[in-house]
Structure 1
Amino acid sequence: MFNFYIIILFVLLIITFLLSMFFSASENSFIQLNKFKIKNLIYKNKKIGREIYKILSNMDLFLSTILVGNNFAIFGFTSISLLLLLKFGIPKAQATTYNLIFSTLLILLFAEIAPKNIGRERSHYFSYKFYPLLKFFQRLFLPITYPVSLLIKLIYSLFNITKENRLDEISKKEIYTLTKSSGMKGLFPNFDTKMIERIFNFRNKRIYDAIIPLNETQPISSKKTINNVKKIFSENDIEYLPVYKNNITNIIGYTKPTDLLNIKNKELPIREIMRDLIYIPEFINLLDILDYFEEEFVLGVIDEYGIVSGLITLNDVIDEILGEEENIISKKVKADNNINIVDEIIVSGKTPLEQLKIEFGIDIKDKDVNTLAGFLMKTFKKIPSRGTTYKYGNYQFKILKSSPTKIKRIKIKNIS
């Protein structure tokens, strides 16, 4: 009888220890579940997805079950281990001390730390295997956990705490992390993960992040005739022309090519048909100006002194989201003695000289400028037109695209 009693206690000791391990592992494994995978299981009409969703839909009940079950298991384990020590004839004082040390170390290492780490690392495997057992304990402990859940809800209401279901909404951080990791793994090789980041940060973007400075536009005098303006549009690939009065900083309106259609009097001053310009301060957010573009194509941006500092269009706002053109647009490589040499590259005018030196070995020594466009403008002492070429060392620079105010695209060819 004595031996049978000892065996029963040992069996109960193992059971309570395993239950403590189970509840500790369950806590971490269910909380660490990937919500995308659970949602996917639900979309595939899998029972396991629906059941796990039900468990996590009521986090109060889930956590209450874990805490109640773990406390019962730990209490049972320490009580049974103390009984066993006493049965082996160890004095009560010493048995209590031994039990405290033994139980604490054993539970801490093998029923808390180890299961929690395993549950975190193998969260889906553990949850899929043992969710029925957790559901059983949820029902078993319901008489205890239900009042606890009601108490928690009362605390929420007293402190005005909003409870969220962690599976219902996917945060922007999770979407960004998913797309970034997918891009790194090559799942979406042509997907620009930086665009996601720009979209999420769009609310914090200011107008000056997308503004076109006034010196990069091509303002025309309000006295220009319709015929003159038509000629400017035909010679330049531009969507609009800002109109100024008396001086270039006094922008009073703008015009588009479509405004000039069906105008019979070609000598009419452009101020007679130009569109009025709406002015907005440069320190407001990009998000706040979107409504303006329902009626206007161009907005004038003014600084704190009321001076027009630049212009902005809806395309500029979209470019801020999608990203501007990369500095290195394309390149061609040729083989020379089994060595790949860059034969031809097409770059943006804003490409830093330092980047050309580091990536392609094109060493342009000029301390006064930082970009390729700046170097070419300094060389020509003007903004060169399309097709203009310039030789520097072993390279030929050809202007592929430019405007009256900037060099936009250049082809660099190795002529060595």
Structure 2
Amino acid sequence: MDAISTSALFLSLLVLILISAYFSGSETAMMTLNRYRLRHLAANGHKGAQRALKMLERPDRLIGLILIGNNLVNILASAIATIIGIRLFGDVGVAIATGVLTLVVLIFAEVTPKTVAALHPEKIAFPSSWLLRALLSVLWPFVKAINLITSGFLRLLGIKNVSVNDALSQEELRTVVHEAGALIPQRHQEMLISILDLEKVTVEDIMIPRSDIYAINVNDDFKTINKQVTQSPHTRVLVYRDNIDDAVGFIHLRDALRLQSKEEFSKSSLLRAVKELYFIPEGTPLTVQLSNFQQNKERFGLVVDEYGDIQGLVTLEDILEEIVGDFTTSMITTASEDIDIQQDGSFIIDATINIRDLNKEMKWDFSTEGPKTLNGIIIEYLEDIPDAGTTLTIDSYHIEVIDVSDNMIKTVKVIPLVKEPTNEEAEE
């Protein structure tokens, strides 16, 4: 009789350990589910995902339920193990049962199931959610009582909201995109990162400076105007009177060529064909400007400062290129055309190049917080317009000024310096 009773106790203990393993694995699986994949599956009608998502809306109830079940099972298993120990080894059996049960519970009811659940959360959480939901209905009064008590303690600690906020910040989303690996093609990753960067980039960072704007002076002789229209590298051209700050509007090349084909092209017809200008305040983030272009149905705008002076020109294409990269059909000068690689490893660079374009093209890290061009960075660093032959080092780049004209640095030679390893890097 005693042997049968002991066998039954061993069987009961085995069942309790398995139940404990179930609760431990379920807890880990539910808590390690990818919330975004879970929402995706739930939105696509996956029943297990829908049940799990519903339970995770109130993690305090879920944890309360699992802990009630797990602790109840473990305490009962401890009692049974103690009885078995006393029957087999007498008084010393209590210590033996405690030690053996602790080891068994740790291996088979805690570490192993939790490890498996962490590796395969969906395979365990989705089936478990059905049973957990049923248990929650049965044990609801106990769960409710536990939650009321714990909520009181949480309020003492200043925690009032027990719902989980798993919204991602911009930097966290950037990390997710970077770590997506093969799940997202490299090209798509770059585009997503570029979209996130739009908030940090303003129109001044990508605009064509006023000195580089291709524009037509309506007061020039008509032969010059006609030649500018014919040879224009852009589909839209700014029209002004004597000074670019006295802009009249812009002419679409298609309209100008149509007038030429009808032999109706003249200064007066040119002025009648110009379109109204669209102005953009400096400092406007690209995300805002992209939306403004869309709302106003514009593709072309002039960046103006607080005094209304024109600082540069921005097009819709410029913003889109920040996301998808340079268009192969673009006739605008690209960063690579401004950079000439020398045999000695140095680079001859047009100093009017945009710093962001230079950094992207060369994988360099010139600061983009101040001036927008390499010319501007050098002048700000020296606090003067240097002579040709002047050398300096900015960050980790050795720079030699080659050509200066019209109060601007035109060409420089840049040699990236080898960075000295830090103490930590040297130790590694």
Give yes or no for TM over 0.5.
Answer: yes
- The 2-side partners of 1:366 and 1:306 are apart by 44
Q: 1:310 aligns with which of 309, 312, 330?
A: 312
Q: Give the letter aligned to residue 140 of structure 2.
A: L
- TM superposition shift of 1:20: 1.6
Q: 1:194 aligns with which of 190, 195, 201?
A: 190
- The 1-side partners of 2:71 and 2:35 are apart by 28
- The 2-side partners of 1:60 and 1:69 are apart by 14
CA RMSD of aligned residues (A): 4.5
1:122 is matched with which residue?
A: 120
8 A Cα contact 1:223 1:270, kept in partner: no
1:236-275 superposed matches below 5 A: 236-243=232-239, 250=245, 252-257=247-252, 266-268=266-268, 275=276
- TM superposition shift of 1:108: 2.8
1:408 is matched with which residue?
A: none
- The 2-side partners of 1:226 and 1:26 are apart by 81
- The size of the alignment, in residue pairs, is 335
- TM superposition shift of 1:238: 0.7
1:146 is matched with which residue?
A: 144
Change (3 A) 1:305 1:42: closer
The answer as to 2:371 corresponding to 1:369 is no
8 A Cα contact 1:41 1:49, kept in partner: yes
Q: Give the letter aligned to residue 138 of structure 2.
A: L
Change (3 A) 1:237 1:246: closer
8 A Cα contact 1:226 1:270, kept in partner: no
Segments of 5+ residues of structure 1 without an aligned counterpart are 328-346, 355-362, 375-416
- TM superposition shift of 1:31: 3.2
8 A Cα contact 2:48 2:127, kept in partner: no
- The 1-side partners of 2:304 and 2:15 are apart by 75
Change (3 A) 1:19 1:166: farther
2:326 is matched with which residue?
A: 324
Q: Give the letter aligned to residue 223 of structure 1.
A: N
Q: Deviations over 1:261-316 (max 9, x none)?
A: 779682349778574452412x3321233454316543333568976442112222
1:181 is matched with which residue?
A: 182
Q: Deviations over 1:212-245 (max 9, x none)?
A: 2334421333523677545422222312233456
2:362 is matched with which residue?
A: none
- The 2-side partners of 1:228 and 1:269 are apart by 16
Change (3 A) 1:90 1:245: farther
Q: Deviations over 1:54-112 (max 9, x none)?
A: 44454333222212112212222223222322333443xx5555455444443333322
- TM superposition shift of 1:41: 5.8
1:6-405 superposed matches below 5 A: 6-34=6-34, 47-91=47-91, 97-149=95-147, 159=159, 161=161, 163=163, 176=177, 180-183=181-184, 192-224=188-220, 228-243=224-239, 250=245, 252-257=247-252, 266-268=266-268, 275-276=276-277, 278-281=279-282, 283-290=283-290, 292-293=292-293, 294=296, 296-302=298-304, 308-325=310-327, 349-350=336-337, 353=340, 364=343, 367=346, 369-370=348-349
- TM superposition shift of 1:18: 1.3
- TM superposition shift of 1:150: 5.6
Q: Give the letter aligned to residue 146 of structure 1.
A: K
- TM superposition shift of 1:26: 0.8
Q: Deviations over 1:115-167 (max 9, x none)?
A: 111011122332355444333433332221133446677868x8553735879
- The 2-side partners of 1:286 and 1:216 are apart by 21
- TM superposition shift of 1:50: 4.5
Q: Give the letter aligned to residue 348 of structure 2.
A: V
Change (3 A) 1:162 1:125: closer
With structure 1 as the length reference, what TM-score do the two structures score? Answer: 0.63
- The 1-side partners of 2:111 and 2:277 are apart by 70
- The 2-side partners of 1:22 and 1:308 are apart by 69
- The 2-side partners of 1:130 and 1:366 are apart by 62
Q: Give the letter aligned to residue 193 of structure 1.
A: Q
Q: Give the letter aligned to residue 235 of structure 2.
A: E
Q: Deviations over 1:11-53 (max 9, x none)?
A: 2221221122111111122333456765676567565454444
Identify, as 1 or 2, the structure richer in helix. Answer: 2
Change (3 A) 1:353 1:231: closer
8 A Cα contact 1:227 1:266, kept in partner: no
Q: Give the letter aligned to residue 78 of structure 2.
A: T
Segments of 5+ residues of structure 2 without an aligned counterpart are 354-428
**Matched residue SS, 1:80:** helix
The answer as to 2:5 corresponding to 1:5 is yes
Change (3 A) 1:349 1:217: farther
Q: Give the letter aligned to residue 255 of structure 1.
A: F
- The 2-side partners of 1:183 and 1:279 are apart by 35
- The 2-side partners of 1:279 and 1:41 are apart by 43
- The 1-side partners of 2:37 and 2:275 are apart by 57
8 A Cα contact 2:219 2:242, kept in partner: no
**Matched residue SS, 1:78:** helix
8 A Cα contact 1:26 1:127, kept in partner: yes
Change (3 A) 1:224 1:277: farther
Q: Give the letter aligned to residue 147 of structure 1.
A: A
With structure 2 as the length reference, what TM-score do the two structures score? Answer: 0.62
- TM superposition shift of 1:172: 5.0
Higher mean displacement: 313-322 or 29-38: 29-38
Q: Give the letter aligned to residue 30 of structure 1.
A: M
8 A Cα contact 1:213 1:311, kept in partner: yes
- The 2-side partners of 1:131 and 1:162 are apart by 20
**Matched residue SS, 2:303:** strand
Q: Give the letter aligned to residue 112 of structure 1.
A: E
